């Protein structure tokens, strides 16, 4: 069920568009857009003084093991990645950089929230306002990355190329679940009308551009996923050994009895983790799981968590320049996306996990999977 937060409201989005329109002096300019925020990666950075202080982070290419110490500005960024522009968009209503402005307005207070949660004593997070705000940050980080973008583009392509009758049957079978996510009650007597409503949904701008539709889907899904993330059981864990992070830092863990190849998504995964800095991990458990402590990860558990984070990376893992963790893991490459049947429209648009069926290491931190 959807839930509200000021930062996910239409009013907040409208203000972001208004501010972007006012600030956008050169609409055609190229701009590097970070899909992992700089202020977040800076938590792993070391400053080097010169004429200008520059922050550096070690980046490891997960599939090759190649490592580089790079300036923070160059990491996890693509040119115009969040540019909201197409020939069929009215830029006076939807400025090209409004999504970037929207993200930055949320990141500014969240930078303080991350400091706040890391300075607190490790253990259950009980400050509801803190949870409310960081839940927005976590879901936005999940939908702003390259993996979600590739999923959204693949899904759009699948929808465009699927036989309309098959598409109607596929979406129709999922209709109760889809409507529930959007906060609408499914009515079996109005199945066809509700199905037409879902199939006719367009982007907020009305654009047919695939990248714009991917951005709209990301913002829409962030609203849908917010309450499921907020309502988890939140706790922070400290570590003595350093943690890494990656270009997809919101990591889902299915846990036992599931196979390593199983991905349950942000709503159903029993465990969701998010590294906060080199010595603090945010862990969000789904009911009926609850935190029981201890709220400190030992050396073995920290290594297990680092493996999860590096394996979750799309391309790159990040750590402090003095650390040498990410390249120590020997990981299988990501399996290619396969389109097995029209009935698997949504699932086949997502890239599978790295681990093959029946393979992979044991699940990390065994005490997380015991219901209360």
DSSP string, 229-242: HHTSEEEEEEESSP
Instruction: Determine the average pLDDT of the residues in 69-79.
Output: 95
What's the pLDDT band for 202 if we cut at 50, 70, 90? low
What's the pLDDT band for 1 if we cut at 50, 70, 90? very low
The encoded tokens of residue 161 equal 């190329």
Find, among 94, 87, 82, the residue nearest to 36 by Cα. Answer: 82
pLDDT top residue among 156 and 25: 156
Contact 146, 119 (CB under 8 A): no
**Would 243 be classed as within a structural domain?**
yes
Residue 245 pLDDT greater than 90, yes or no: yes
Residue 343 pLDDT greater than 50, yes or no: no
Q: Give me the pLDDT at residue 336, please.
A: 80
Q: Give the pTM.
A: 0.91
**Would 216 be classed as within a structural domain?**
yes
Residue 334 pLDDT greater than 90, yes or no: no
CA angle, 239 as apex, 236 and 245 as ends, to 5°? 80
Residue 288 pLDDT greater than 90, yes or no: yes
What's the pLDDT band for 352 if we cut at 50, 70, 90? confident
**Would 55 be classed as within a structural domain?**
yes
Q: Give me the pLDDT at residue 16, please.
A: 96
CA angle, 274 as apex, 269 and 277 as ends, to 5°? 165
Q: Give me the pLDDT at residue 70, please.
A: 96
Q: Give me the pLDDT at residue 26, please.
A: 55
The encoded tokens of residue 77 equal 């960024």
Q: Give me the pLDDT at residue 27, please.
A: 53
**Would 1 be classed as within a structural domain?**
no
Q: Give me the pLDDT at residue 181, please.
A: 62
**Would 273 be classed as within a structural domain?**
yes
Q: Give me the pLDDT at residue 273, please.
A: 98
**Would 317 be classed as within a structural domain?**
yes
Q: Give me the pLDDT at residue 52, please.
A: 77
Number of domains making up the chain? 1
What's the pLDDT band for 254 if we cut at 50, 70, 90? very high
- The parent domain of residue 29 ranges over 6-369
Instruction: Determine the average pLDDT of the residues in 186-192.
Output: 90
Q: Give me the pLDDT at residue 258, please.
A: 92
The encoded tokens of residue 69 equal 């110490």
Residue 28 pLDDT greater than 80, yes or no: no
What's the pLDDT band for 140 if we cut at 50, 70, 90? very high
**Would 298 be classed as within a structural domain?**
yes
Helices (H), 77-209: 98-119, 128-144, 146-161, 164-181, 191-199
Q: Give me the pLDDT at residue 25, please.
A: 57
Cα(121)–Cα(92) distance, rounded to whole angstroms?
47
Q: Give me the pLDDT at residue 358, please.
A: 79
């Amino acid at each position: 069920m959807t839930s509200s937060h000021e930062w996910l409201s239409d009013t907040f989005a409208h203000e972001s568009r208004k501010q972007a329109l006012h600030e956008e002096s050169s609409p055609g300019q190229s701009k590097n857009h970070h899909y992992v925020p700089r202020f977040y990666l800076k938590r792993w950075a070391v400053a080097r003084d010169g004429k200008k202080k520059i922050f550096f982070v070690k980046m490891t290419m997960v599939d090759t093991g190649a490592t580089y110490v790079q300036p923070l500005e160059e990491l996890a960024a693509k040119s115009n990645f969040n540019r909201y522009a197409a020939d069929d968009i009215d830029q006076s209503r939807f400025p090209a950089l409004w999504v970037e402005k929207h993200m930055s307005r949320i990141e500014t207070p969240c930078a303080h929230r991350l400091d706040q949660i890391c300075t607190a004593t490790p253990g259950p997070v009980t400050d509801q306002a803190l949870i409310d705000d960081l839940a927005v940050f976590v879901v936005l980080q999940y939908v702003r990355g390259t993996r979600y973008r590739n999923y959204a583009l693949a899904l759009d392509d699948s929808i465009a190329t699927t036989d309309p009758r098959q598409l109607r049957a596929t979406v129709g079978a999922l209709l109760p679940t889809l409507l529930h996510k959007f906060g609408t009650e499914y009515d079996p007597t109005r199945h066809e009308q509700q199905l037409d409503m879902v199939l006719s949904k367009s982007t907020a701008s009305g654009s047919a551009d695939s990248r714009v539709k991917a951005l709209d889907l990301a913002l829409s899904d962030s609203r849908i996923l917010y309450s499921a993330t907020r309502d988890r059981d939140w706790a922070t864990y400290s570590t003595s050994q350093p943690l890494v992070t990656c270009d997809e830092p919101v990591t889902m863990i299915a846990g036992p009895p599931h196979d390593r190849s199983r991905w349950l998504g942000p709503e159903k995964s029993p465990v969701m983790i998010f590294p906060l800095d080199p010595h603090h991990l945010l862990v969000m458990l789904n009911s009926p799981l609850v935190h029981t402590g201890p709220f400190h990860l030992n050396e073995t558990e920290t290594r297990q968590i680092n493996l999860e984070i590096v394996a979750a990376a799309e391309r790159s893992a990040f750590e402090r320049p003095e650390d040498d963790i990410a390249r120590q893991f020997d990981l299988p490459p990501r399996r290619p996306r396969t389109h097995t049947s029209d009935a698997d429209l949504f699932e086949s648009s997502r890239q599978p996990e790295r681990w093959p069926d029946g393979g992979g290491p044991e699940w990390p931190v065994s005490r997380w999977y015991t219901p209360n």
